[in-house]
Amino acid sequence: MTDADAVRQGLMVSVADRVNKLIEPSYYRAQLTMLDKEATRYCDSIDAFSQAPSVFATDAVVHTLHRALHEMMGYALILLEDAAHNVTEVEGYFSAWRRKRETPFEVYKGTEQIIYGTYSGMTHADRAPYTPVAVLRTAIELRLRGAFCVSSYVNPEKPDELIPIDLSKLFEAVQTHQKNIEFNVNLHDVWKIYRWSNFYLHGGARDFPWVPGFLLQYLRPLFADPRTNPNGSWSINGGIRMKRETWRAVREALLTPIERPGLLQRLSNAWRALRARKTSPLGLPTVEERAAECTFLN
């Protein structure tokens, strides 16, 4: 299974997914694909470590790699247990189980690790593979907003007030011009990962510990363009490319209500007509195009 298929088959983004995917063999193949990629990455690091002439903090490196691999293999048994139960109806083969939710204290301790580092002596050395889900979600949001210099509306009559723009609205605006924008990572995959993070961010729901690392690497081309210039340089903005006209059109689309065909749109139009009242036109803050965190093709 390809990495892209693993993202599309292995991530749960809705309540229905959390029921239906458990009985789909493709879900478990996707999880095994992600596990294989992450475990291989750790093993490659171990190989490189074993050949290095001098390694800083040897015991800490060995402890980190060994503990992470050991944890992933333990959770692999749980994945196979779930597959046996939900797909083949074989009960209790490994007698393996896991806790599927983070406690607030675990999130707090995970944040400690991000701030102070695992071996600073200022926090526990236990791994916190789930806390970075919230950080990864923030990175996605900042990446998309930064590319189009979009975060909030302004009211000309109340310039001190900022009205936040929901990321789903930006996604819809980008979709209307998607054919004219080059994303190093498929836009729908990016959005799927963002939606997948909702369950952790709002409910503390854990996925398997190899998933956040796999998704981090999958998204890397969006944040660090793998293409290099003749002099070997590369761009942190090159993961999203478009012409200036497209950039302006996406921003303009945020100022125009997006029409959704069908009954819901008609009901929405009727509701707005019934509740018609004077409203101030909203605008976007004025920005210079050079501030956009994307690469322009013209």
pLDDT digits (tens, 9 = 90+) for 69-124: 999 999 999 999 999 999 998 887 777 888 899 999 999 999 999 999 888 888 88
Predicted pLDDT of residue 274: 64
Predicted pLDDT of residue 62: 77
pLDDT digits (tens, 9 = 90+) for 52-77: 777 666 667 777 888 899 999 999 99
Q: Any residues with CB less than 8 A from the CB of 53 and at least 6 apart, and which?
A: none
CB 206 within 8 A of CB 102: yes
Predicted pLDDT of residue 265: 62
Q: Any residues with CB less than 8 A from the CB of 38 and at least 6 apart, and which?
A: 72, 210, 213, 214
Model confidence, pTM: 0.87
So where are the chain's domains?
A: 1-98, 129-261+279-298
CB 170 within 8 A of CB 142: no
Q: Any residues with CB less than 8 A from the CB of 129 and at least 6 apart, and which?
A: 68, 71, 209, 212, 213
Predicted pLDDT of residue 95: 79
Q: Any residues with CB less than 8 A from the CB of 86 and at least 6 apart, and which?
A: 22, 23
Query: Residue-wise over 185-210: b if at least 16 C-beta within 10 A, else e?
Result: bebebbbbbbbbbebbeeebbbbbbb
Low-confidence ranges of the chain (pLDDT < 70): 55-59, 257-280
Predicted pLDDT of residue 91: 81
Predicted pLDDT of residue 89: 86
Predicted pLDDT of residue 143: 97
H or E stretch at 162? strand 158-164
- Distance, in Å, from the CA atom of 289 to the CA atom of 94, rounded to the nearest integer, reads 57
Give rounded-to-5 percent helix, strand, coil for the chain: 55, 5, 35
